[in-house]
């Protein structure tokens, strides 16, 4: 298990205006991010855990999940987390036309803006699949795409202790964007052990900067 595969290292060389792979590293900041939620069973306990450790995160939300769990999104915003765009139905973007991709993204944008008043939220493509034409389109329209630099590999469903061993061997570093998923109990089980250790090591956990102001009424 490798949390820093070669592909992630290569992506760091792309200009930040095209792709965000790291956050600001000042003050030992590490950026927890969660994809595929909100989940009606697992996201609430995860929010409880983050609150207990004064940790903020960025949640890349799927539109059809938002519509089922609006109260969880309201709670995320109220507790100081960032919400981001992860498409409406989590399709394979490589199989869609540009118009179909943008329809997926724009539908979620309208949902997210209703919660936090922001426009042009950070976007993370489903499965991290990147298409150059999409990136250039986002660049022309002032949108930002955020990937990750540290992969927890939780989607491969290893035992929690296996991820804990991995994270102790190769811990996230200041500036890292950590990929996790809140559609299962595994992240909470892992972070219940790791957050106190990371805090003791001097790491802190802000949300990713959104880069966009709240829209004026």
* Number of helices (H), then strands (E), in the chain: 8, 5
DSSP 150: E
Q: Which of 39, 121, 181, 183 is catalytic?
A: 181
Q: Is 181 a catalytic residue?
A: yes
35 is catalytic: yes
Annotated active-site residue in 22, 35, 154, 176: 35
CA distance 29 to 177: 9
Residue 123, CB-side half-sphere exposure with 13 Å CA sphere: 30
> CA-based diameter of the chain, in Å?
48
Tell me the three state secondary structure of residue 13: coil
Rounded to an integer, what distance in angstroms lies between the CA atom of residue 11 and that of residue 14? 6
**Residues with catalytic function:** 35, 181
């Amino acid at each position: 298990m490798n949390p820093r595969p070669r592909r992630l290292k290569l992506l760091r060389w792309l200009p930040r205006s095209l792709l965000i792979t790291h956050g600001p590293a000042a003050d030992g900041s590490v950026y927890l991010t969660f994809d595929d939620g909100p989940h009606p069973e697992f996201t609430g306990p995860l929010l409880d855990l983050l609150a207990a450790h004064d940790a903020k995160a960025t949640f890349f939300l799927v539109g059809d999940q938002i519509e089922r769990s609006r109260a969880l999104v309201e709670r995320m915003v109220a507790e100081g987390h960032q919400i981001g765009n992860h498409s409406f139905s989590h399709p394979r973007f490589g199989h869609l036309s540009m118009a179909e991709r943008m329809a997926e993204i724009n539908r979620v944008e309208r949902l997210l803006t209703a919660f936090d008043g922001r426009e042009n939220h950070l976007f993370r493509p489903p499965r991290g699949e990147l298409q150059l034409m999409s990136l250039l389109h986002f660049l022309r329209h002032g949108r930002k795409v955020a990937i990750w630099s540290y992969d927890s590999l939780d989607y491969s469903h290893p035992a929690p202790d296996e991820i804990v061993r991995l994270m102790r061997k190769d811990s996230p570093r200041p500036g890292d964007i950590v990929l996790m998923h809140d559609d299962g109990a595994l992240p909470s089980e892992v972070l219940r052990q790791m957050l106190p250790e990371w805090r003791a090591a001097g790491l802190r956990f802000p949300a990713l900067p959104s880069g966009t102001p709240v829209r004026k009424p």
